[in-house]
Amino acid sequence: MRFVDEFREPGGIARLAAEIERLSHGQYVKIMEVCGGHTHAIYKHGLQDLLPANVELVHGPGCPVCVIPMGRIDDAISIARTPGVIFATYGDMMRVPSSSGSLLDAKAAGADVRFVYSPLDALTLARRNPDREVVFFAVGFETTAPSTAATLLRARDEGATNFTVFCNHVTIIPAIKAILDSPGMSLHGFIGPGHVSTIIGLEPFAFVARDYGLPIVVSGFEPADIMQSVVMLLRQRSEKHMRVENQYARVVRADGNRRALEMMGETMMLRPFFEWRGLGFISHSALALRQEFAGFDAEVRFPVPNVRVTDPKACQCGEVLKGAIKPWQCKVFGTACTPETPIGSCMVSPEGACAAYYNYGRYSLMRQGVPAGSPASST
Amino acid sequence: MTDARRIESSLSAQLGRMERARVVRHDAARLLDEHITLSHGSGGKSSHALIESVLMPAFRNPLLDSGADAAVFRSVAGAERIAMTTDSYVVSPLFFPGGDIGQLAVNGTINDLAVSGARPIGLSVGLILEEGLDMNVLRRVVASMARAACAAGVPIVTGDTKVVHRGKADQIFINTSGVGIIAAHSRLDMNAIQVGDVVLLSGFVGDHGMAVMLAREALELDADIVTDSAPLHELVARLLAAAPDTRVIKDPTRGGVASALNEIASRTRLAIRIEEERVPVRRPVRGACEILGLEPLHIANEGKLIAIVPREQANDALQALRGHALGEDAAIIGEVLEQPEAMVLLSTAVGGSRVLDMLVGDPLPRIC
């Protein structure tokens, strides 16, 4: 298959693995992949098997489903239960637990919750159901925010009156900063998010090298992409020349996608602060609809409880999202918390570190003599 | 003319009138409705009209035509073991590339019997129809069931029809049950699986599930993928003749090959290792899986089997499968190991390895 097979050719991957081994000189190197898409690809293809033991990949906060705090799901369910509302959401948000059940549970109890593949599908729902209020549950980083923005612009142009957006878009840079500033963080570099970068470009990542002296390589999602990005990171370290590099040049342009950024700017503005699961409140890290779009803002049109719910005590999603612990070091991983019965959001999305570990990675843990779900295995 | 003769003649005339009346009544029972209404499920005239003019002519066979409340089979020599199975079909949309719910309902139940080592001898059909269903849709589905049953050589011997209020069902739900006879020499037994046994797959995976998924309007992807729905009993018979010690056969429907293998691994507490590169996946299915973020081994099949056979019979089994049209792309895809206990592993194409788990919480709508 073109554009896929080229990046999965075993010979090429083996050469990259050998190069990683050579460049790492046996030194311990800890690299964070920011994006959940990378976490998923690493486990799906078993890439950790191909890396030398001294090169460790840790998982970052870039899973949009995982970083939504529990209180926002409570808010979503409260909107979904409003009589007359059709609540449209991406499929994997449906299983994220709130303080009392998930959207899927709300649906079973009678709320009209439907899953859509894009916000435009939600707008179509609104057009087809003129007597109902359609609310779109907008989540995601700069990757999905532009399509929400484009949908808002279209809704305005069409004069839609029964379509609103419950906006939970977040931005990646403040989260990376928060991780770099959190105490006890010892990272040697970042694999940068490929899809987000197609929108925001490379410049926003410059501070990682400039202010923190760490390399960052924006990477594609195929096995060869990720392995090559690790090579590029190690090379920067050898050359002692830390900077932003673009491994994903076939997709990512240095200046990003200006039109997408304009649409976001036209429809959304930074919130003064927003709560992230695990990372707490981070200022200027999320987007809300602009005043001009208040008519499309579910938070304006519906009474939203806006409650703050603390995560279940046993759940350590926060530590996982900061890369402070591995998923299997969480007390409930694989026992009380599994993809069938997730306690924390990291176990829900296929991009969540816990789900990726659970679905694909358990075997490698067993080979290392670490039983999945063992709390005693914390390092 | 004697009295006796007179009586006889008048009786005969009376009988003739009754016969004409019966024919007229029968004609009156002709189905003119364009949609299913609640009265088609009432058990009265409309029900009979529906059965007589749509269902009976399509499924016609001696056992069904007897009109009895139950089909009665003659006993078959050597039939010491009888297999029975049932399955309900609620697929949406009803028609998808290469097939429809009717064909699926016939082949699916035949396959449940086939992979148990049984030769199917009869099927029942229970139809649950939604009020307002277009009669032509029903006719199409019934014709497709009749074609599938005829092609497989398995008669539909009994049935039932109910109509529910609009909104209480989604157009047509079908339940089929099937009875089959297990050959005296069949030795299928999952507990006989041993370390070193070989895993065979009869062809390309994921065609059915992907064809149905792409037929849904929400996904605007165009790809040339059709369902693989087919009856597997002949393929199974060939396989068992060539590899008589075959341990287990499964048809990897919902949940795909991954779920079927996990069932085996967890039941036997053994490990199964699959080589990703050996699993036959059509290019459009692989492409669609990449775009949708799905695993081909999790996608449903309706005309494929996996078999675990002893290593020394693996080659004969493979040749037997490849010698049949439904198995010409068969491949050996993996083997049974001792460790790690009760787990299915996948050796990835790039040289890594990972767990291949059952499908969890598929957020997509039902597919079969």
Residues in A closer than 8 angstroms to B350, CB to CB, are 8, 10, 13, 45-47, 50, 223
Residue (of B276, B270, B273) closest to B295 by Cα position? B276
Residues in A closer than 8 angstroms to B347, CB to CB, are 46
Q: DSSP letters of B147-177?
A: HHHHHHT--EEEEEEEEE-TTSS-SEEEEEE
Instruction: Outline where chain B has alpha helix (H).
Output: 3-28, 45-50, 56-59, 62-65, 101-114, 135-152, 207-215, 233-242, 256-268, 283-292, 314-322
Within 10 A of A313 (CB to CB), how many other CB atoms are there? 8
Residue B10 has pLDDT above 70, yes or no: no
**Which residue among A4, A91, A350 places its CB closest to the CB of B290?**
A4
Check CB contact of A52 with chain B, cutoff 8 Å. Answer: no
**Which residue among A8, A121, A366 places its CB closest to the CB of B349?**
A8
What separation, in Å, do the N-terminal and C-terminal C-alpha atoms of chain B show? Answer: 70
Q: How confident is the model at residue A345 (pLDDT cuts 50, 70, 90)?
A: confident
Give the separation between CA A208 and CA B330, rounded to whole angstroms: 52
SS3 state of residue B42 = coil
Cβ–Cβ pairs < 8 A, chains A and B: 78
Within 10 A of B291 (CB to CB), how many other CB atoms are there? 11
**Which residue among B219, B353, B357 places its CB closest to the CB of A49?**
B353
Residue B12 has pLDDT above 70, yes or no: no
Which tens digit of pLDDT belongs to each residue from A350-361?
A: 778 888 888 777
> B237 vs A335, which has greater pLDDT?
B237
Which tens digit of pLDDT belongs to each residue from A238-264?
A: 999 999 999 999 999 999 999 999 999
Write out the E strands in A153-256.
163-169, 189-192, 216-218, 244-246
Residue B9 has pLDDT above 80, yes or no: no
**Which residue among A94, A340, A361 places its CB closest to the CB of B354?**
A361
Whether residue B263 contacts residue B136, with contact meaning beta carbons closer than 8 Å, is answered with no
The angle formed by the CA atoms of residues B75, B78 and B83, to the nearest 5 degrees, is: 70
Q: How confident is the model at residue A318 (pLDDT cuts 50, 70, 90)?
A: confident
Q: Quick one: tokens of A360?
A: 């694909």
Residues in B closer than 8 angstroms to A361, CB to CB, are 354-355
Residue A346 has pLDDT above 90, yes or no: no
- The reported pTM is 0.79
pLDDT at B246: 96
Residues in A closer than 8 angstroms to B287, CB to CB, are 1, 4
Bridge partner list, B125 = B159, B176
Residue B364 has pLDDT above 60, yes or no: no
Residue B24 has pLDDT above 50, yes or no: no
pLDDT at A40: 85
Which tens digit of pLDDT belongs to each residue from A25-70?
A: 999 999 999 988 898 889 888 898 899 999 999 888 888 888 888 8
SS3 state of residue B20 = helix
pLDDT at B275: 95
| Residue B354 to residue A91, Cβ atoms within 8 A | no
| Residue A10 to residue B353, Cβ atoms within 8 A | no
Check CB contact of A361 with chain B, cutoff 8 Å. Answer: yes
ipTM of the prediction:
0.71
